[in-house]
Chains A and B, each alone.
Chain A
Amino acid sequence: MAEQGVASVWRRIKAIYTIQGNMCETCGTYYFPPRPVCPECRRKGKLELYTFKGLGTIYSFTVVRQAPEDFKRQMPYVIAQIELDEGTRLTAQIVNVDIKDVKIGMRVRSCFRKIKEFGPGGIIAYGYKFEPTMKVTGHEEKPIPKGKSQ
């Protein structure tokens, strides 16, 4: 069954690699996953593809301590509802964080991770997970360590 997952993963690649949903130009509502029709505006709605910026906050979360076989290597791990800055919510795993540090309202950014392997010979599904926003330094602001040449 090496071909397992091929079509279903391929169909969603654009959406799950880059968090691509859509936005209704009539009412300004964002949707993820992309919707075929705007439920607010119905036939008056005008849906356009939209790639989310990938920034948001944790709306709610849970710690998974009993995981499916594929995820045992990652236990325990955090699954959260994330409210994206554009307004819509999605469910994703939170990585690069100590479980005790996860809090509702925590700022997170999307990152690219392996989601699932369809067995040792099958395809690998990649996509978004979220991690805490990290420190970015402009080097000028940092003191130069002693003994280092500039």
Chain B
Amino acid sequence: MVGIVGYGVYVPRYRIKTSDIAELWGEDGTKIGPGLGVFEKSVPGPDEDVATISVEAARNAIKMAKINPLDIGAVYVGSESHPYAVKPTGTIVAEAVGCSYNMTCADFEFACKAGTAAMQSAMGLVASNMIKIGLAIGSDTAQGRPGDALEYSAAAGGAAYLIGMKNPLATIEETVSFTTDTPDFWRREGEDFPSHGARFTGEPAYFRHVGEGAKLLFKKTKTTVDDYDYFVFHMPNGKFPIAMGKQIGVPKEKLEDSLVVRQIGNTYSGSAMIGLARVLDIAKPGSKIFVVAYGSGAGSDAFSITVEDAIEKTRGAVPTVDDYIERKTYVDYATYAKYRRKIKALG
């Protein structure tokens, strides 16, 4: 069966506390963190972007899987902050990890679920025997307009998954998607920052799509909440996934391990994929994982995953999600503004 043969993540080293952002804009810093469920967020260095984050994550995945990169038949990178508008990030990743030139490559875009859409495409190519292994990456250096609510959560990070048939460390039994035309969050061509529909991003957008995606997957796999040990939902903030869990009756402890958003913020295309990686870092063979990624615009991709015995042999091969979370240096708002090119006079 199609499964994950290796995975790797990357989170930049710099962090800014949400309380520091709040105080700059005259808000109460003590209330923002607990209110949003985001206490600090990752900030990319001045020489980091989606290409560099993707390469680091992909190198970790390849090292974990112990595969020959020449066996990778497809490289797909999902992001909404690709460094080039025209020139695929995937080409840079493929060259940097040592892929063959005889492979297919493309960049994906579907807000925060572009990476899971890439996973589904790789699954299709592997299941139809068109390729041996597919590399699917979700990675972002998310932008938030200074002073906007998004600025508290828009973070940077990425995860890479190698999808294959041979000796998977976790099998993907089923995947379903739910897609509609819902304008909850967007960025027009040439604009530096995205816009959003404020409260509209909740009920008709995130909750409807994640909820429907989850329902579809339960129905298709004939399973219930009780059949799963871990749940991973897209994490635009710390509140939404918990509220989503409550709506469909997920006990809090089954969701807790995936909530990386509290320490690193919303890594957009990397969000659910890093949450899944954190669960894979600790899950025992036989555990079942229920994942629903969400992308504004809007849609959800849901996956039913079972952890296999092979996962035990991969432990310690590459840095875990927690290793990256713990490796951090705090920066102040001025340094954050300099690194994120919010100071326009600097070019």
Contacts and interface: CB of A to CB of B under 8 A. Distances in A.
A114 B323 contact: no
Given A98-B329, A149-B253, A74 B46 contact: yes
A73 B46 contact: yes
Nearest to B59: A112
Contacts of B47: 74, 95, 113-115, 129
Interface stretch (A23-31, A38-46, A81-89, A136-144): A136-144
A51 B68 CA distance: 14
Interface string A125-138: 01001000011111
Nearest to A93: B47
B51 A140 contact: no
B322 A142 contact: yes
Interface residues of B, number: 40
A134 B319 contact: yes
A111 B56 contact: yes
B346 interface: yes
Given A18-B96, A114-B48, A73 B346 contact: yes
B281 interface: yes
Interface string B294-328: 00000000000000000000011111101100110
A107 to B, nearest CB: 15
B327 A114 contact: no
Contacts of A129: 47
A135 B327 contact: yes
Contact of A112 (B52, B320, B323, B338): B52
Nearest to B253: A149
A140 B13 CA distance: 24
Contact of A126 (B92, B282, B320, B326): B92
A112 B96 contact: yes
A139 B52 contact: no
Interface in A1-60: 13-14, 17-18, 51
**5 smallest beta-carbon distances between A and B, as pairs:** A138-B316, A112-B55, A138-B315, A114-B47, A17-B96
